[in-house]
Chain A
């Protein structure tokens, strides 16, 4: 506990006029000819100071956590143990901490492991902020110091921290201008957000233990460390012998909390509250994340308000009932919908018109309009997709019996021989495959099925179409670039390729097509897919 300063909460300092001439904050309004110069003021959260009541009211359900954090941060210049703030995503961890620092006007450096996606960038980002360095065109967008190794980082960090803290101390001596936006105190806080992502950076988790050890290694009392994570400290290795962090838990919001949060900034509170009465409870059963809820609610609320002419009107009981009856059918589908894609009005209108016209002219077509696949595939790609689906769905032992009646080719016979040899073995595998979902298959099997299907379909085709000349070159030709088709099916994520040596031909594939899509494709080819499906 060195460096004991008399705790003066209200102390303010003037802008530091140390090395650089002070430029005003309004630089960016003047069309950026001179670059913006960073000052020590940039260590604090910008904007006007937030008083305690505003802080509490902006986070309706976080009063306890705010008080606890304030207590842990302590008075100005009081040293602290590293904090570990955790809680589910979208529970207000980051914004609470940032607003607390805005309230306290204390200098801090923030680094999110989401934005800084590697250790080097994380280090350099922290150092840049400490050195008041900004990557811009003038310096070729390079960082102030190149820093890859953790040991370098410790050295640089210590060096830079001491200089910054010195400056902060000198700042205090210069004067006590009480304007807002000046750093208070000479402690510097490092905030690391999204800490859970570090776990994925390297397998050996050295980076993580390094981060946790940072406080012990640096041994600087002017430094405060705050880690923010989605997951609890138990999910990190904790027996590494470093200083225990002080955990602060952000619990999940309750339904009432959510109501309070969602009610903020609503123009027509009564109307919105009646809307929440309807939707909040069912939605809370699926998710309590504020971001998910608010994005789900904004289109729903628009739908809820549809019958209303005046959005500012205060709803009475009768109107609520009316709105509810209008709105009710939309709730259940939207509960299941994670991803709703609206389309632009102009194209939508066109398609509507299209279906209208079709409806007036030919009624039979409206029915199967929905059963069509809505993207283009060539015929051979369709057949390949179906054969991949069959190969994944059906056990290999059944191939012979399924395709025998349709008359195949040599490859089919070879196939049958091979499968008879290992029937017992495959019986076991069959059980296993059912447990595993869509099965894998070698290329040969896929091609064999493909050939059986296409040869069967060709004879089928000829029955239907009288004019052969339009179909000329249909058979045999279908084989020509099957491998090309296969690769484009792989690219479209319909077939997944398991890795192994392609020269040996032992690559195994797996079809990920849903039965629904496969049936649609089969229908577009008039291929009797259900006949070929093996069902238990």
Chain B
């Protein structure tokens, strides 16, 4: 499967090299196959604007005209140009993510550096050895406490370690930039096989730039004293402590603790789970030598929120995802994988697919402010007419833009895109305001983001809005109650939770919150005015009765549910109302806007196949449906018949479908032989040989042919059979015969339902 897809990828070597560099080829490949398949089904919105994607399937249908083939080639070039645009967009997103993730850890890194310096001071305060002392073999005689090894335990708060690989690298380079000598060790160096020599060798390689057979700490001591100034600590970072072999790590710690006075070393260990981990891994005598200190990195939900805020809510690139895709990605993060890395990967796949599939996707740049790019459609292989046709055939445009047909088309697009940009901007402001309010109640932005993208709930909100528009000026308290009820019954979701929280907020925090809102809404004067007004009210109220503040708040908190009406004029209520109206009016999800297909990725199925892959199922399906993949001439006609030209393991697996849990090896072999040997017999027997795969009947037949040909195919078929069985075993579809039943293999077809 892979080679065929990469072959179709190859026309332009420049882009392929770029994509391989980006390292998501396998996923991309998987997707392609899928999108081709899904295309055959008439799925409403997709069919209308699918032109380019037909081209990959053109080699299948030989009867296609040459002219169209040429067009397909042309399209390929355009795809490649669009993929270049993708590279630009993605590099922007990537750098944004990188910055965001780095910013999260800046404070922790600073803390760690301070602590490293303090520890260094402590170590040097015990004793400052002279050169012979420091490089001598015997330990310095001092207090027992001076053998303590200062150890920073960095809690990554995530069981999976993938997200933090970069973190520790960054920590290392940060400390290096502060003058420390840093070495990063990973758990691979602490294996039982290499023993303590492995980690020392790695240390020496990083500090001294030499690779030695007999690595020895004394070398490190000599190096430290010889390399000049001795006023910088040596920091050793062990990235994933839990994966290290406990005994080796203990030995390492004991050894370091003997040398810590001679080489001022500070240890930093990354811990994925809890602080109990060192206790359970290390030997107690090594544990005693540690003088630990705890640091906490940003938790995955925190980081996720930061990434979502920067990339998807604040729209750093203009690229957006639909509600369904967002929900899928959220679920994938929460329940499946739990790593930011895979979330980013999913985003990248989505982005790549979007650019690959959508001809107008290059217009993303327009949303970033580069107006003139829109008119350069030719560069992306589209004449202005084509562009217009594409744009106006978008489903979102068809529903909305019908009545505007009188206008000039170019203008329509321009206006539509400007409108889209405005909607996105307003939407993100409201979401950020909601997030700010929900923060105190631990509402994560990811959840909020998914809910805010839901087009259905927006539509129903808008419906309500239309009805309630007449008394918008003075919303009565009963109305407000209805609001609340409406939200709680309709979607007991996070938006509602954030609103609820807003009502309970104490004045000080409300003031802070409103200030935050003020910052967000600067670009939308309508909201900004209202926020300003509210803020001044809060301040005046704050000044009025600061003494009674606490008591009233608690009372309000207690009695809110019963005494709605009295409460309604409080500032909290006003803020909540403001937010509600913002949600109603301005929070229009991307999918409700015209032309949103240009920026919004919607195909959740494609993303799912690309991301999850389901290799086991894939293997089984592929084994059973070889014809679809190989597409050779011999198999094209008959769909399910077993042919000798098929791959052996495929034949075997198809035959195995006839059996139950246990497969009798003899029967299986006989039926395999009957199929496989047909090829060699075919030549002699001619076309009148019946290709029916019935085993009993056929199994007797191969015994008949002339003696010369018997010897060879028989041995050969056994060999082929054995190899195919082993292949099936390796792919995990079979279990070899047990001692109890030596002539049966067991099927381990797991989780595959046809």
**Chain A positions near chain B (C-beta within 8 angstroms):** 25, 27-28, 31-32, 35-36, 38, 42, 45-46, 89-90, 94-95, 98-99, 109-112, 114-118, 120-121, 124-125, 129, 134-137, 140-143, 191, 265, 290-292, 294-295, 298, 338-344, 346-347, 357, 360-361, 374-381, 466-467, 469-474, 477-481, 488-489, 491-494, 503-505, 512, 517
Chain B residues contacting A480 (CB-CB under 8 Å) are 336, 612, 614
- Interface check B23, CB cutoff 8 A: no
Report, nearest first, the 9 A-B pairs whose CB atoms are least far apart.
A378-B338, A28-B131, A379-B335, A110-B138, A291-B144, A343-B294, A376-B300, A95-B141, A376-B158
B570 within 8 A of A: no
Q: Nearest Cβ distance between residue B350 and chain A, in whole angstroms? A: 15
Query: Chain B 446-459, CB within 8 Å of chain A: the 1/0 string?
Result: 01001100100000
Measured CB to CB, the closest approach of chain B to A77, in angstroms, equals 22
Are B138 and A98 neighbours in the complex by a CB distance under 8 Å? yes
**Given known contacts A25-B130, A378-B338, what 8 new A-B pairs fall within 8 Å (CB)?**
A114-B258, A118-B197, A121-B214, A338-B279, A360-B506, A479-B751, A488-B161, A504-B735
- Asked if B628 lies at the interface with its beta carbon under 8 angstroms from chain A, I say no
Query: Is A117 a contact partner of B255 (Cβ separation < 8 A)?
Result: yes
Residue B729 lies at the interface, judged by CB distance under 8 Å to chain A: yes
- Of A112, A339, A379, chain B has the most CB atoms within 10 Å of the CB of A339
C-alpha gap A381/B158 in the complex (Å): 11
With CB as the reference atom, state the residue of chain B lying closest to A102: B141
Contact assessment for B157 and A294 in the assembled complex, using a CB-CB cutoff below 8 Å: no
Alpha-carbon distance A111/B218, docked complex (angstroms) = 11
Q: Do A361 and B506 form a contact, CB below 8 Å, given A35-B226, A338-B279?
A: yes
A491 to B290, CA, bound (A): 23
Contact B493 A295 (CB under 8 A): no
A234 to B741, CA, bound (A): 53
Question: With A135-B218, A377-B159 given, is the CB distance from A347 to B111 under 8 Å?
Answer: yes
Please report the total number of B residues contacting A with Cβ < 8 Å: 111
Q: Closest Cβ of chain B: how far from A511's Cβ, in Å?
A: 13
Q: How far is the CB of A467 from chain B (nearest CB, A)?
A: 6
B181 to chain A, nearest CB (A): 15
Q: How many residue pairs, one in A and one in B, have C-beta atoms under 8 Å apart?
A: 253
Q: A141-B208, A375-B272 are in contact. Are A491 and B328 (CB under 8 A)?
A: no
Complex: A36 Cα to B277 Cα, angstroms: 43
| A143, chain B: closest CB distance, angstroms | 7
Contact status B735-A347, CB under 8 Å: no
A94 touching B300 in the complex, CB below 8 Å, given contacts A375-B273, A376-B338: no
Q: B612 near A347 (CB under 8 angstroms)? A: no
Q: Are B153 and A341 in contact (CB under 8 A)?
A: yes
The residue of chain B having its C-beta at the shortest distance from the C-beta of A483 within the complex is B616
The residue from B111, B214, B292, B608 contacting A120, defined by CB atoms under 8 A apart: B214
Inter-chain contacts of A125 with B (CB < 8 A) = 137, 216, 218
Q: Is the CB of B287 within 8 A of A338?
A: yes
Nearest chain A residue, comparing its CB with the CB of B730: A503
Cβ–Cβ contact A45 & B132, under 8 A: no
Would B130 and A115 count as touching, CB distance under 8 A?
no
19 pairs, A vs B, C-beta closer than 8 Å: A27-B131, A46-B136, A89-B285, A114-B254, A116-B216, A118-B214, A137-B208, A291-B289, A294-B143, A339-B292, A376-B338, A379-B334, A470-B450, A473-B328, A477-B336, A480-B612, A488-B161, A491-B161, A503-B729
Contacts of B273 in A (CB 8 A): 375, 492-494
The answer to whether the Cβ of B466 comes within 8 Å of any Cβ in the partner chain is no
- CB < 8 Å neighbour of B226 from A32, A46, A89: A32
Contact of A142 among B212, B222, B279, B751 (CB under 8 A): B212
Contact A467 B491 (CB under 8 A): yes
Once the chains bind, are B216 and A115 in contact (CB under 8 Å)?
yes
Which of A347, A378, A472 is close to B328, meaning CB atoms less than 8 Å apart? A472
Contact in complex: A493, B196 (CB < 8 Å): no
- Contacts A121-B216, A467-B492, A474-B331; A346 near B506 (Cβ below 8 A): no
Within 8 Å by CB of A98, from B139, B300, B735, lies B139
Given contacts A42-B132, A135-B222, A137-B226, contact A298 B159 (CB under 8 A): no
CB of A338 within 8 A of CB of B143, answer no
Residues of A within 8 A of B243 (CB): 491
In the complex, what residues of B have CB within 8 A of residue A340's CB? 292
The CA of A508 and the CA of B452, in the complex, are separated in Å by 46
Q: Is the CB of B159 within 8 A of A493?
A: no
Per-residue A-contact encoding for B138-162, CB less than 8 Å = 1, 0 else = 1101011101100001011111110
| Beta-carbon contact of B223 and A137 below 8 Å | yes
Query: Does B331 lie within 8 Å of A112, measured CB to CB?
Result: no
Residue B310 CB within 8 A of the other chain: no
A115 to B335, Cβ gap below 8 A? no
Tell me how far the C-beta of A154 lies from the nearest C-beta in chain B, rounded to whole angstroms. 19
CA distance A146 to B54 in the complex (A): 69
- Chain A residues lying within 8 Å of B274, measured Cβ to Cβ, are 374-375, 517
Q: B residues engaging A (CB < 8 A)? A: 107-108, 111, 114-115, 130-133, 135-139, 141, 143-145, 147-148, 153, 155-161, 195-197, 204, 208, 210, 212, 214, 216-219, 222-223, 225-229, 240, 242-243, 251, 254-255, 258-259, 272-275, 277-281, 284-285, 287-296, 299-301, 324, 327-328, 330-338, 440, 447, 450-451, 454, 491-493, 504, 506, 608, 612, 614, 729-730, 732, 735-736, 748, 751
Residue among B251, B290, B337, B450 having the largest count of chain A Cβ atoms under 10 Å: B337
**Contacting pair A36 B139 (CB below 8 A):** no
A109's contact among B137, B222, B281, by CB below 8 Å, is which?
A: B137
A148 and chain B: residue at smallest CB distance: B214
User: Which residues of chain B come closer than 8 Å to A298, judged between CB atoms?
Assistant: 145
Contact with B141, one of A99, A338, A503, A504 (Cβ below 8 angstroms) = A99
User: Which A residues are in CB contact (< 8 Å) with B148?
Assistant: 295
- Cβ-neighbour of A375 out of B144, B158, B222 (below 8 A): B158
Most chain B beta-carbon contacts within 10 A, residue among A99, A129, A340, A491: A491
Contacting residue for B331 out of A42, A471, A491, CB 8 A: A471
A377: chain B residues within 8 A (beta carbon): 158-159, 338
B331 touches A477 (CB 8 A): yes
Query: Measured between C-beta atoms, what is the minimum distance from A136 to chain B in Å?
Result: 5
CB-CB < 8 A to B153: which residues of A? 341
- Contacts known (A32-B228, A375-B155); A361 close to B440, Cβ less than 8 A: yes
Q: Are B493 and A467 in contact (CB under 8 A)?
A: yes
Contact assessment for A493 and B242 in the assembled complex, using a CB-CB cutoff below 8 Å: yes
Please tell me if the beta carbons of A338 and B284 are within 8 angstroms of each other in the complex: yes
Q: Which of B227, B289, B331 contacts A473 (CB 8 A)?
A: B331
When the two chains form their complex, are residues B493 and A361 in contact, meaning their CB atoms are under 8 A apart? no
Set of chain B residues within 8 Å of A135, measured between Cβ atoms: 216, 218-219, 222
CB of B247 to closest CB in A, whole Å? 9
A31 touches B228 (CB 8 A): yes
Q: CB-CB < 8 A to A361: which residues of B?
A: 440, 504, 506
Chain B residues whose CB sits within 8 angstroms of the CB of A379 once the complex forms: 334-336
* Chain B contacts for A109, CB-based, 8 A: 137
Contact B159 A470 (CB under 8 A): no
A27 proximity list for chain B (CB < 8 A): 131
Closest Cβ of chain B to A113, distance in Å, is 10
Taking CB atoms, residues of chain B closer than 8 Å to A376 are 157-159, 299-301, 338
Tell me if B138 and A45 are in contact (CB < 8 A).
Answer: yes
Q: A31-B228, A347-B108 are in contact. Are A290 and B285 (CB under 8 A)?
A: no
The answer on a CB contact under 8 Å between A143 and B214 is yes
**A486, B227: Cα distance in complex, Å:** 46
Contacts of A136 in B (CB 8 A): 222-223, 226
**How far does the alpha carbon of A454 sit from the alpha carbon of B284 in the complex, in Å?**
39
The docked-state distance in angstroms from the alpha carbon of A124 to that of B215 is: 11
Bound-state Cα–Cα, A137 to B222, Å: 9
CB B737 to nearest CB in A, in angstroms, measures: 11
In angstroms, how far is the closest chain B Cβ from the Cβ of A263?
13
- Is A94's CB under 8 angstroms from B336's CB? no
User: In the complex, what's the smallest C-beta–C-beta distance from A448 to chain B, in angstroms?
Assistant: 11
Contacting pair B131 A504 (CB below 8 A): no
Set of chain B residues within 8 Å of A32, measured between Cβ atoms = 131, 225-228
Report the bound CA distance from A28 to B300 in whole Å.
48
Known: A347-B296, A479-B751, A492-B242. A339 touches B279 (CB 8 A): yes
